[in-house]
Structure 1
Amino acid sequence: MRDDSCFWRCFPCVFCLLILLALCQPGIVGTSSTGIGSHYNCQYTTGLCGVVFFDDQQCGDNYCRCCGRSEPDHQPYYAECVLHKNNLTYIPQLPRSIRYLNFAVNNLIGVPLTEHFFSNVTHITDLALIYDNISHIEQNAFRGFRNLTCVDVSGNHNLKNESFRVLMAIPGLQYLSAHSCQLASPPKDLFSNMTSDVVELQLSSNIPTDYICLYDLTAYSALDKLRSIDIAFCSICTVKTSTVVRIQSLNLNDNSMTRLPESCAANEVSLFPNLSSLKISENGILSLKEACLPSLTFLDLSSNSMALTHFSITQYPGLQTLWMKNMITDRFRWASNLFSHPTLEELHLEGDNIAFGSEEIVPNTVFANCPRLTRLSLAKNNFENVDDARFLELLGHLSLEELNLSKNKLSSFSLSTLSNFSNLSRLELMGTDLSSIPDGAFDSLKNLSWLNLTQNEITTITKQTFSVETRERLNVLYLDRNPFTCSCELMWFRNWFVSDTELFHRNASSQLQYKCNNLPGTSLASFTMVDQACLMSHAMNVVIVYTCTLFIVTFTIASLVFRFRWNIRLALYEAFRGRGDVRRLRLLADHFDYDVFVSYDKEDLPWVYGKLMPELEGRLGLRLCVHERDFIPGNNIVDNIVECVQSSKKILMVFSKDFVRSQWCQFELTFCMNHVMNYDDVLLIVCVDDVASRDMTAAMMAVLKTTTYIQWEELDDAVRSFWGRLRLALHEIIPLDGAL
């Protein structure tokens, strides 16, 4: 930072949080690419001490903090005496090395600012008196200053025009900010008979309490050195002047204007002969009438509702840069040669939703006769149905050096799309839904050094995508936020990405935006593959992948079929079984030895003998087949099961934890399931305890999912419900006397 520079360009609206101040680099900013002109940057000190500077210490009667740099002389340059409200009503003595003072948010209401008030700091160059409730500044208050170049009195709502005049008259002052002071349009004679060195004036967000939406610039005609006025965010409806004002830059953004300021005198002489930059975005401009702005080079009409059918670019003879972003434009046919202009160099038509694919709306000649147009931004429009032929008809004749097509859905992108743009040095294709890049698509752009392909659908970059010459020409290449498929095909690009940090502007943050879409949690930089794994051809890899996939799918299906074989079988049985005719005919045959075959584990025998048999045999008169009692001794156990099942009218299974572990019980279950399917019957299932699903066999799980079972519990109500449900399930075979 330099002691002799002008510091702290401010926008004190951030003081909505009291004192969050913008930190800008010192020095004079040169002319920008937009032609806006020079601006003074002033830097006040809130937040600097103890953050980016050294030697932070208490000073100024312990009301202030002073700090500076450790080099070259260890002297404090910055002082901040802030947020003391009613406790600090004077500027204390500060070190003579201080050049930049921030005296913000100190309640000075009723305290006149006199020459004595500033006597301790007449050596400073930059002064901030923000949100101090200043109401009066005496005529000679700044007489003692010799080097003061920047003053900020923003946020002082009681400041009057008389004090504003005093500030403008400070000798040597180049930048003055009176943002958010409720200052009205100045009287025409406010600055008469005075000398002012102010070059840049910041008056944004000034809406007086006695609000009148007319703003008269006549008073500024007396200020020969004034070059820039910012009156944005002031709710201005109309701007006028009754005499010539020789400013170069006028900012009217975010007001309520429906037309441009009156710029033509009665004799068609320009009222703003030197105006080179006019910003009038975020207003309500509906149309542009005749203008007399012979020096205008930069015009910002963004975010207005203007009908382009009423726009004539030829009324600005020296125009070089035109911004028409986010316009709410009409949908009627644009005029041919709409943007034709001999001096136009830069055009921004971003976010206008222009249907470039429709020749009825955008004629082929809309950009004709623009010999000097080199920078064109068409981001956030509609490029659907724009093929290569249409693209070249619209833009192919332009000698573009910079082209922005970001946030457009490009219908096609081939080798011929950019074939005519040999002068192109910067190309923006972010978010255009490109899924692939033709090999050598950028090789014809012999001057291309900046390429942005961020946020597309690109999965692979190969060695042939960019030729060696193209890779050597590129200084910046953005490919982040693409869904890369990390495989052998991408290894070449991965190695290039890792090896060339500067080209991809790769840092810890941007590196995280390069990810392997097919490998969650894996960044491109960390992705690796063994060389041997990439030796096989792509075709062989495809065959192997398909073969393995087919095997895995087949194996998975077979496993699922085996695992759920009983579920499938029971589902088919339920879908195709009859209406019970087979079962009724079988019961009418009347050749059964038993009414119910009971399948159970021997550990559940006490429940069978103590609970089940007394109820079914004792009370209902049914004959149960219980193998401890009824199997024929000496016969094969399998034969006993088969004969007893076939000789029983119904089958009842007693599921329990022990039933799960018994191989014979599982055999009986499988056989009985086949039996009931053959005779169109159903199993009767009772559960005497809770069985965990992880312990059950596939057959048991299938039965419980497809059959309504009865759960045994020892509670009185539960017992009565259990026997009632069981009698209902056995109603076909219960004798009449038992049912009663």
Structure 2
Amino acid sequence: MCGVVFFDDQQCGDNYCRCCGRSEPDHQPYYAECFDHNLTYIPQLPHSIRHLRFAANNLTSVPLTEHFFSNVTQITDLLLISTKMSHIELNAFKGLRNLTCVLVTGSEHLTMESFRVLMAIPGLQYLSAHSCQLSSPPKDLFSNMTSDVVELSLSLNFPTDYTCLYDLTAYSALDKLRNIDLAICSICAVKTSTVVRIQSLNLNDNSMKGLPESCAANEVSLFPNLSSLKISENGLLFLKKACLPSLKFLDLSYNGVVVRSFSITQCPCLQTLWMSYINTGWMKLASNLFSHPTLEELHLEGDHIAFGSHDRVPSNIFANCSRLTRLSLAKNNFENVDDARFLELLGHLSLEELNLSKNKLSSFSLSTLSNFSNLSRLELMSIGISSIPDGAFDSLKNLYWLNLTQNDITIVTKQTFSVETRQRLRFLYLDRNPFTCSCQLLWFRNWFVSDMELFQRNASSRLEYKCNNLPGTSLANFTMVDQACVMSHAMNVVIVFTCTIVIVTLTITSIVFRFRWNIRLALYEAFRGRGDVRRLRLLADHFDYDVFVSYDKEDLPWVYGKLMPELEERLGLRLCVHERDFIPGNNIVDNIVECVQSSKKILMVFSKDFVRSQWCQFELTFCMNHVMNFDDVLLIVCVDDVASRDMSAAMMAVLRTTTYIQWEELDDAVHSFWGRLRLALHEIIPLDGAL
């Protein structure tokens, strides 16, 4: 009760009650509860009891007399809950000299006379009479009496006479009364016929259509001392003239349509204004609507105000607000509000607290907030940002509270907040963001684990820091091997890219090298001319030989026995053969080069022995380059079958791109072989040889 921590629960009061102690050196019982025994009296309780809760008993037919509390004269707080009492005698509380707080609830038949007795308890400062069906008091109810009550709570009273008008005139007689709570009482209007000097009036959740009547006929205020007026959730339809010269706090939230003609300048001392959830988004707001020289705090949450529309929201809507330091614009419409428009509306304000939560700030950059150097508390929950620019909040030297909950932030790096900013922040909420747990986030994870109180709004909020890319993994439990994060992400990308390029280059080079002759020959076949270069060479040059023959020495018998007789004796061609025509004493390479260049045609004799000969492979390479340079072709004859696995790359390339002539010993095959060879040599065969 009253925030006190109790312990040592024990039976007391003839075993009808329960007594508890509190953390004091003597551990004496301090709190007593007598609950649900249909008691018609208060049993004898320990003298140390100060708080008594007398609940769910039946006092319907038992009046409260001066003897009713004789066993607890020392109590300071009294709760009479659901006792159904109706009548209280004038001297019932006479012996309770220390009583300062009384709470009566659920006594549906409590009379006005009993209410007057409660108000007259000497020394009583707080009185609450909830759910007692008390209606508006008669104007003279408190006449000729003294009351020390400072705070009166009458919420949840629904009068049985169905009168929704509440008259505050009776309270004008109570000089010490400062606060009246009339929330949830079905009140439709409030009036007074004389000045009431209360300071606070709570009319929340009623049925009022307008403000309480506050102006006398001569425009003198009927509530000259009223500094706080709460009238939210009433369905207000109009705000007529108000005479509230001392009003500092006004709550108009959760109402219907608030007429634009109402001006807060009618309240010259206004400091705090709540106008949240009144749905003014469809309205064209008046110029200087919130302009007020004393206004310090303004709440416009959930009003759907289209701040991006110059037609509906004038630029001077917050003009002349030189003292405005706390502003909440959560849950409005910031579409098309860019940096320039934002500064046009708010740039002149010396804000210390700003709430922009649950607005989609798509055209707005966080760097604009650097213009508000006095900011100490900043709420940016659910504004749709995916990243925080490095140092975005470093210029806000007074910032200690920052809420970035439920955005799309994936990474927080060491550069996001400077060392000074991290030391300055006492509250930094980043929960419910889709963090990508990787090396880039490891630094933030370590900061989070080392100072969890900084990031937690409550005990369970730490569970709202999760790795979006690792389902079921919380940020606190995310770990990575240090070696895996030695290099930066950018360096890893460069390394992977470089390695990929190197691998691709090596692969292409290997393929090109392996099939280099195939490629060269294919290009040669694709781009070589129609024989003009070859014909001009044959006409212009002086040749010593008609055909250069390249062969292995093991194939010499075939060359001497078959080839030379046919080409030299029958066709009249001059062949260049190593053993016969190379000049003795010359370098063998020089012999090959000179003989190739001195021959009109080149004929290669492929065989198994040709494959194994290094000189033959050299001749093949050289001859291939030679014919390509002169737009010619190699003449290839195969004297036996050579397995492809034994061939060099050059031989494979030649056989795949050139039609070769196969030698076989059969008569028909021999005749075909020489016929095909003569056809291949027709350009250089003498006319008599062709015949």
- Say yes or no: TM over 0.5: yes
Query: Does residue 191 of the first structure (1) align with residue 113 of the second (2)?
Result: no
Matched letter for residue 25 of structure 1: G
CA positional deviation for 1:70: 4.5
Show structure 1 runs of 5+ residues with no match. Answer: 1-7, 9-23, 27-51, 550-740
Contact 1:173 1:197 in 2 (8 A): yes
Q: What per-residue deviation string (whole Å, max 9, x for no partner) do you get for residues 345-369 of structure 1? A: 0000001111111111111111111
The offset of 1:531, in angstroms, is 1.6
> Which one of 409, 413, 428 corresponds to residue 462 of structure 1?
413
SS of equivalent residue, structure 2 residue 254: coil
In the superposition, relative to structure 1, how do residues 309 and 506 fare at CA in structure 2: closer, same or farther (>3 Å)? closer
SS across alignment from 2:172: helix
Does the 8 A contact of 2:429 with 2:457 survive in 1? no
- Partners of 1:153 and 1:486 lie apart in 2 by 56
**How is 1:669-680 mapped onto 2 (pairs within 5 angstroms)?**
none
- Alpha-carbon distance, 1:56 to partner: 1.3
Q: Indicate the residue corresponding to 1:236 in structure 2.
A: 187
In 2, the alpha carbon distance for the partners of 1:508 and 1:290 equals 48
Aligned to 1:403: 354
Distance in 1 between the 2:497 and 2:49 partners?
Answer: 76
**2:318 counterpart of 1:367:** yes
CA contact (8 A) 1:126 1:149 kept: yes
* Counterpart residue type for residue 44 of structure 2: Q
Kindly state the Cα deviation for residue 230 of structure 1 after the two structures are TM-superposed. 0.5
Rounded to whole Å, the distance in 1 between the matches of 2:198 and 2:230 is 13
Tell me the CA shift for residue 528 of structure 1: 1.0
Q: Which residue of 2 aligns with 1:306?
A: 257
| 1:62 aligns to 2:15 (yes or no) | yes
8 Å CA contact retained: 1:397, 1:420: no
Equivalent residue runs for 1:208-223 within 5 Å: 208-223=159-174
Aligned to 2:3: 25
Unaligned 5+ runs, structure 2 = 501-691
Q: 1:545 to 1:335 in 2, by over 3 A?
A: farther
- For 1:310, what is the secondary structure of its paired residue? coil
Following superposition of structure 1 onto structure 2, how do residues 472-621 of structure 1 map, counting pairs within 5 Å? 472-505=423-456, 509-539=460-490, 541-542=492-493
Tell me, in whole angstroms, the C-alpha distance in 1 between the residues paired with 2:261 and 2:498.
Answer: 66
SS class of match (2:260): helix
**Conserved in 2, the CA contact under 8 Å of 1:96 and 1:123?**
yes
Tell whether 2:81 aligns with 1:130.
Answer: yes
Larger Rg: 2
Cα drift, residue 150 of structure 1: 0.6
Instruction: Map residues 116-515 of structure 1 onto 2, 5 A cutoff.
Output: 116-329=67-280, 331-414=282-365, 416-505=367-456, 509-515=460-466
- Asked if structure 2 preserves the Cα contact closer than 8 Å seen for 1:308 and 1:330, the reply is no
Q: CA deviation at 1:545?
A: 8.0
1:237 and 1:521 map into 2 onto residues whose CA distance is 53
User: 1:330 & 1:537 partners in 2: Cα distance?
Assistant: 48
Tell me what 2:646 maps to. Answer: none
1:650-689: CA deviation from partner (whole Å, max 9, x where unpaired): xxxxxxxxxxxxxxxxxxxxxxxxxxxxxxxxxxxxxxxx
1:495 counterpart letter in structure 2: N
Helix, strand or coil: the match of 2:443?
A: helix
The residue type equivalent to 1:289 in the other structure is K
Deviation at 1:291, TM superposition (A): 0.8
Letter of the structure 2 residue corresponding to residue 57 of structure 1? Q
- Per-residue deviation at 1:444? 1.4
Q: Does residue 51 of structure 2 align to residue 73 of structure 1?
A: no
Residue in structure 2 matched with residue 642 of structure 1 by the alignment: none
Q: Deviations over 1:116-144 (max 9, x none)?
A: 11111111111011110101101111111
Letter in 1 for 2:21: G
> How far, CA to CA, are the matches of 1:454 and 1:415 in structure 2?
15
Is the contact between residue 308 and residue 329 of structure 1 (CA under 8 Å) also seen in structure 2?
no
Alignment of 1:661-672 (within 5 A): none
Task: Give distance in 1, aligned partners of 2:262 and 2:287.
Answer: 12
Structure 1 contact 55–70 (Cα < 8 Å) conserved: no
Change (3 A) 1:370 1:218: same
- Supply the distance in 2 between the matched residues of 1:415 and 1:211 (Cα, whole angstroms): 55
Whole-angstrom distance in 2 between the partners of 1:295 and 1:508: 41
1:414 Cα deviation (Å)?
Answer: 2.8
Secondary structure of 2:452's aligned partner: coil
Deviation at residue 425 of structure 1 after TM alignment: 0.4
SS of structure 2 residue aligned to 1:121:
coil
Deviation at 1:277, TM superposition (A): 0.3
Q: Secondary structure at the match of 1:491?
A: helix
Deviation at 1:416, TM superposition (A): 3.3
Alpha-carbon contact 1:307-1:330 (below 8 Å) kept: no
The amino acid that maps onto 1:182 is Q
Q: Residues 92 and 465 (structure 1 numbering): CA distance in 2 closer, same or farther, change over 3 Å?
A: same
TM-score, with structure 2 as normaliser: 0.70
Distance 2:471 2:111 in 1: 63
Amino acid at match of 2:15: N
The aligned amino acid for 1:396 is: G
Separation in 1, partners of 2:405, 2:375? 18
- The structural deviation recorded for 1:307 is 3.2
Distance 1:416 1:308, change over 3 A: farther
- Normalized against structure 1, the TM-score is what? 0.66
How many Å separate the matches in 2 of 1:311 and 1:338?
9
Offset of 1:501 from its aligned partner?
Answer: 2.8
> How many angstroms apart in 2 are the aligned matches of 1:25 and 1:367?
41
SS at match of 1:389: helix
The 8 Å contact of residues 327 and 351 in structure 2, kept in 1 or not, is answered as: yes
- State how far apart, in whole Å, the 2-side matches of 1:546 and 1:284 are: 65
Structure 2 distance, partners of 1:506, 1:339, is 32
DSSP-derived class of the 1:418 partner:
helix
Q: How many residues align?
A: 501
What is residue 47 of structure 2 aligned with on the other side? 96
* Pair 1:545–1:164, CA change in 2 (3 A): farther
Q: Is the Cα–Cα contact under 8 Å of residues 131 and 157 in structure 2 kept in the other structure? A: yes
Contact 2:255 2:278 in 1 (8 A): yes
- In 2, the alpha carbon distance for the partners of 1:497 and 1:455 equals 17
2:6 is aligned to 53
Q: Tell me if the contact between 1:325 and 1:349 (Cα under 8 Å) persists in the aligned partners.
A: yes
| Alpha-carbon distance change, 70 to 311 in structure 1, aligned in 2, over 3 angstroms | closer
What CA distance in whole angstroms lies between the structure 1 residues aligned with 2:246 and 2:335? 38
For 1:107, which of 37, 54, 58 is the aligned residue? 58
- Structure 1 70/253 Cα, relative in aligned 2: closer, same or farther at 3 Å? closer
Distance 1:129 1:508 in 2: 36
How far 1:540 moved relative to its partner? 5.3
Identity %: 82
CA-CA distance at 1:544 after TM superposition: 8.0
Give the letter for the 2:392 counterpart. A
Give the Cα separation in 1 of the matches to 2:498 and 2:103.
75
- Take 1:210 and 1:141, find their aligned partners in 2: how far apart are those partners? 28
Alignment partners' CA distance in 2, 1:268 and 1:493: 62
Deviation of residue 295 (structure 1)?
0.5
1:277-315 Cα deviation digits (max 9, x unpaired) = 000000121121111111000000001113352221110
One-letter code aligned to 2:231? I
* Separation of aligned partners in 2, 1:133 and 1:231: 21
Closer/same/farther in 2, CA of residues 387 and 283 from structure 1, 3 Å limit: same
Contact 2:209 2:234 (8 Å CA) reproduced: yes
Give the drift of 1:81.
0.2
